[in-house]
Copies of this chain bind each other. A is one copy, B any other.
Amino acid sequence: MVADPLSRVFSALADPTRRDIVARLAVADATVNELAAPYDVTVQAVSKHLKVLEDAGLVSRSREAQRRPVHLEAEVFDLMTKWIERYRRQAEERYRRLDDVLRDMPDAVLPQEGTPS
């Protein structure tokens, strides 16, 4: 994947299995085998999912004997929340201004009660 960081994070979390992995890693670190156990896919498939999460910066893998404990890196969430909040605020600001406009010219725009249509 040669996409921008934001696309990588959104794309990584667009898969339900990967979101579930993130949810479980929020509770405790785990190895690939442990993570793969609940799903009916091969360990290799889960390893690929973890690579996607790692490329997105959502998890990190250390080394501990043969095991590679997977650890959740929650800081990257900020990237998304910042993006989301920015445009949500902007959209809400629009509504607020629209309300102002409607309040300033109620006769022209707002349907008046009792006005025959």
Contact = CB atoms under 8 A, between A and B. Distances in A.
Interface residues of A, number: 31
A91 B75 CA distance: 10
Copies held by the complex:
2
Interface string A1-45: 001101100110111100100110111100000000000000000
Contacts of A88: 74, 77
Q: Classify the secondary structure of A's interface with B.
A: helix
Interface in A55-93: 72, 74, 77, 80-81, 83-85, 87-88, 90-92
A70 to B, nearest CB: 13
B16 A14 contact: no
Contacts of A84: 77, 80-81
